[in-house]
Every structure is written in structure tokens, then in C-alpha cells.
Structure 1
């Protein structure tokens, strides 16, 4: 593939790619590697707290592409669903404080095998969260996950499902996040990307290779698998998205590697394959 260095201005490190680093290490690493964006995971905020985390980001000159994650709406009891909603409100506040207008939603699994009811709870949770998020200027990005994660992470497993929910709201309130690892297999992928026109809030890249022996840490570096990443990226652009592109890779080999080596590999693969 031809290399395209012009895209580097959109490159964002999704923090899970360098799970071995805390937020300060990741921010300094990005600044040194000239990676202009970072996506922050909430468990990384806990180390320094929101105020110090915000200062770290400001001092390194980075832009925050998104906060991961909100969601996890379904629960077996009404009390727990209320607690989940409260946690989502805290996530909205954190996103606004960090200077990003995108909260990524991983919507949650079925706690009691009733997948239809859990999808209803997802819809209700988003409906309850929208006014609060809008008051903070934060948009909710529904990220559909690959169907293999339906049992433990999300009952929203296709871009079509995510679009259907998002279309109940304005694009300034709710949109979708397109992660190539989760959607590349979908026969309706390009139809659904076009359907999401002006409603795509994030684009995540990695790759899919076999065999998959650990579903959580299954992702590979771009170019190491079968996904038509560049084709998907161009479709997302045609649908109106021209924002940061997050490299989001859960992989133990990368986590065992020095973070600066991961960033170099990430940049090289990004230029060649995204």
C-alpha cells in the first residue's frame, strides 16, 4: 500500500494500546513521538485524578479525542441501573473537564440471559443520559462491538443497531463510533456507514488475525490481519468524518513492549495501512 503521511495529524493513541503506561507516561510519550491526539480510559484517570490529568494533557499540548468509556447500562436490578446511570453522568463530567466532546459508549451485556430486555435497558439508559450530556456539550458515541462480545460487553453488536438508536436523537446528541475490529465482517457495513452520514463521532483502527485465543487481547497492529482498513477509512470520510483516528489495540505482546517502541510501530503501521 502507498504511504500517506498526511493522515498523521489525525493520529490518536487510544490509551489501552499502551496499557503498561500511566496517563503521564502516555502523554509524554505521545508528545515526544509527535502523536497529536490521545483517547483516555477512565481507569487511567484514577491514578492522578481529574485535575492533575487535565494539567498533564495541557502541559504536553495534546488534544483528547474521546473518553472511554460510558455505557454498561443493563443490570439485574433497578437500583443497579440507577447506579450505572450515575456513573455515566460522572463520565460525562470527566469528558467535559478533559476537553473532549465524545464519550464512547460500550453499552453492556445481558445480566440475566434476556438479551431483548437488555437492549431495551440500553435504549432507556441513553434516553436518560442524553439531556445531561447535552448540558455539558458532550456527545454520546455508541460503539457496536463484535458479536463475540455480546455475552460480556455489549448487546449492541452491529452498526445497524447503533444507527437505529442514534437516529432517535440529533447528531449533536448521539452518534456512532466505527471500530474496524468490531464491524469489518458485517455484510451491511458500507451501507450502514453511509447511513451514519454526519453522525460518526469516532473511528478506531487495529487488525484481525487468527487464531484468536484471547478474545479481549485479540487485536493486532494494522497490516497484520485481514481487515480492509483503508477502504473502511475512505467510506467513513465519505460519510463526513474527518476527525481523529484512534489506534485501539488490546494485545499482550504490545503491553510487554516498551511504550516508545509501541508508538514507533504504531506510527509506521498507521502510515502504511490506514
Structure 2
């Protein structure tokens, strides 16, 4: 029976480089089995991906991951267990269980946390002649729930007169709408600010009371679309393992020898999403 040939370690946060040392050995794929599962808060399990004795086995793969999760076999040949998860959604957040069997078995629970910045603010401005007032509307989507504040030059914070509501979208994002109504005689420039405390990030939009139409005038005032993905990883057999970023696809990578860069940058359902990964100690 071969010696224990692998380690399970977390990948934490973005833009990191992790180097690991393991024992030397020739990898035998026919002895290798890998299983990824997602564990819900109700302890319900979804099979994400399964490799059994070197062969892909998708018979029990959950439909939610069908066509989205796969193991990069060319990386596996070089001693790298690389799980690729595409079209990442907010609902992918949660606990994952990774099990590797290679002569001996080991496993690890990893928590995947998804955060979506409020990168795009849609602005609508309306003049209400009956009320002799101006109405400003700011709307954006993100995660987790952001705080919205309003400012102008004369009043640093006029949020107390604003009405802010939110609802959850089908993708698990918070759709926030904030409405500010001021008297028509009070002209000037106004700023709505979305404060994402979890990401320590402010996104703002500026609206002017000048040149308002009687009907709603909409505009997208800020947009920056990036999707940064890094997913938890099982680090497999090899004399030298490294996890780094590469412009290709979202992967979980570990290998022996020289490790190429691994990362992913794309867009999912029009939402700006960044992933932060934390994990519990090895059990």
C-alpha cells in the first residue's frame, strides 16, 4: 500500500500564491478517486463532481452542477487535481466537502463565500409639478446588503428623508432602490452612495436637479464589469505543489513539479461577482 500521498489545504482570498511540499512518488491515476460535494445549511448534500479510480463518474452529479463542474484531466496527468466551476452564482456559496482516496483517504470541509460589489448604479430623476418637488431614484444590485446614503453640498447627509427598500433576486442578489424627494426650490447636485460593509467598498452616483424632464429620465452612471473567481481546492500528490492564478478558467489546482498560473476572469449573468474563500481546519 502506498504512503499517504496528498494534502488538503485551503485557498484563502484572492491574488495569492501558495507553495507546498509533499512526498515524492509516481502518480497512479487508476488508484485515485476524488469526490466533491456541496453541503447545505440543512445538511443536504449535492454531488458536484466525482472521479472514481481515474475515471469520471457523473451518474450522481447534481443537475445544478451539470455542465458547470469538471476536473481538468490534462492537469491531472501532471499530478494536479483541478476542479473547474463555471457560471458561478450567489447560490454556490456554502460548505464544500472534498474527499481524496489514494491508497489512504482524507477529507476537508471548505466554505465558499461569494460577494458581489455594487458596481453599477442606475439613476432616475423626475420632476413632480403637482407636489412641486424633485424625485431622485438610485437602484443597484449586489451582495451582501448595502447601506445607502444621500449627500449634497449643503447637507452632508440627507439620508433621513430618503426611502430605501430592497428585494432578493432569483440569483440571490439584493436589489436595492433608494428614493429621495426634495422641494423644487432646492436645486443642486446630489450623490447617492452604496456602502458595502463586507467588502469595505463605496460606490456612488451623482445626479443634478438641472434640466429635468417631467417624465422619468434614466441613466446608468457607473459600470465596471469584472468577475474574479477562486474556488476551494484539494491539493493532491506531488513533490512540489503550487497554486497560482492563470487567465483561463476557474480551477482548483495542485500538482507536482512546476505549477502554471491558475485563475479566472469572466462575467456571470451580468452581475459583478468576486469570491472570497475561507476554510475550517483539516479534520
| TM tier relative to shorter chain | under 0.3
Q: Under a length normalisation based on structure 1, what TM-score does the superposition of the two structures give?
A: 0.20
Q: Under a length normalisation based on structure 2, what TM-score does the superposition of the two structures give?
A: 0.19
Higher relative contact order (CA 8 A, sep 6+): 2
Identify, as 1 or 2, the structure richer in strand: 2
Structure with bigger gyration radius: 2
